[in-house]
Amino acid sequence: MTIAWSGGPDSTGLLLLARDAGLAVSAVHVDHGLRRSSAGEAEGLVELAHELGVALRVVRIDLADGPDLEQRARRSRRTATGPQAMTGHTMDDQAETVLLNLLRGSGSDGLAAMRPGPTHPVLSLRRTELHRVCADAGVPVVEDPSNDDPRFRRNRIRHEVLPLLGEITDGDPVPGLARVAHHQRQVVDHLFAEASGLDPTDAAALRAAPDLLAAVALRSWLRDDDGHPPSAAELARVRAVVDLETRAAQISGGRRIARTGGRLRVERDR
């Protein structure tokens, strides 16, 4: 099995747990070249992988700083590691994702956040637990300063919003937000089963269907390359195409949803 290994405590903790469980583990590290220290960090991981008995492949990518950096970095990692690679996302990441998708105006599938399974094996664990695994094993980890950069919305959710919610509720908001994701996955699974027979490219069928089921079919069809469904605003623009109010609408990922002869299609910017 392959682990996406940044060298940070989350992915390193996952790697150690998998290795100690007797699993045949290999890892992929993506060096985005965004920090002067990144090449040295990659070399350190090569040495550490040898000590741990883990096969490691390092992929170097020249990624320029600028707009949509997080999304571009995520896509480059996914391309390098493959879609089936395991990640060290924890319950804390799940809570952050719920809040981020809530702010985007996402529907139930967005609030369902990340789905537990082979690619997200430690979603039930807390970030502190994985950090403790590394500390107890005496394994050094890479501290990425971008995780504290306030220009990234997730970091502000992590360092400002979640602590504030903890103060307001006098407790830990993370388990409750993770339960929201669990409940929403149950809703999503039911709705997707109901909408499975609906063709999301058939405008007439979408207009005839209940609005909720039409929205579910469109959200499923129009997920971006990272698996994210369209935002509420994007879905409203696509719905205008379905309802014959306009012939086309622009959505994320350089995509344009157009209608011809009652059929919807996706066009991509070249």
Could you report the per-residue pLDDT of 175-228, keeping only the tens digit for each? Answer: 999 999 999 999 999 999 999 999 999 999 999 999 999 999 998 899 887 777
pLDDT of residue 132: 98
pLDDT on residue 270: 63
Determine the pLDDT at residue 105: 80
| CA–CA separation, 222 and 252 (whole Å) | 10
Residue 95 in domain = no
Same domain, yes or no, for 6 and 70? yes
pTM reported for the whole predicted model: 0.82
Residue 64 included in any domain: yes
158 domain residue, yes or no: no
CATH code for position 51: 3.40.50.620
pLDDT score at 57: 93
Is the domain of 54 the same as that of 122? yes
Identify whether residues 127 and 18 lie together within a single domain. Answer: yes
* Domain count within the chain: 2
The reply to whether 186 falls in a domain is no
Whether 207 and 123 share a structural domain: no
Which parts of the chain register pLDDT below 70?
34, 63-64, 66, 270
Q: Do 23 and 131 reside in the same domain of the chain?
A: yes
Q: What are residue 255's DSSP bridge partners?
A: 251, 268
Range of the domain at 218: 197-268
For residues 136 and 59, state if they share a domain. yes
Q: Are residues 123 and 253 in the same domain?
A: no
Using a CB cutoff of 8 Å and minimum separation of 24, what contacts does 135-140 make?
Answer: 137/16, 139/12, 139/16, 139/48, 139/52, 140/44, 140/48
Residues 137 and 42 in one domain: yes
Do residues 140 and 23 both lie within one domain?
A: yes
User: Do 136 and 245 fall into the same domain?
Assistant: no
**End residue of a domain, out of 144, 163, 186:** 144
Beta bridge partner(s), residue 263: 202, 260
| Residue 211 sits in the same domain as residue 140 | no
Is 177 within a domain? Answer: no
pLDDT of 47 reads 95
Burial tier of 187 (Cβ tally within 10 Å: 0-12, 13-18, 19+):
middle
pLDDT at 20: 94
126 and 34 housed in the same domain: yes
Q: Does residue 127 belong to any structural domain of this protein?
A: yes
Residue 180 lies in a domain: no
Structure tokens at 267: 């066009």
Q: Is residue 191 part of a domain?
A: no
Give 246's contacts (C-beta < 8 A, 6+ positions apart): 237, 240
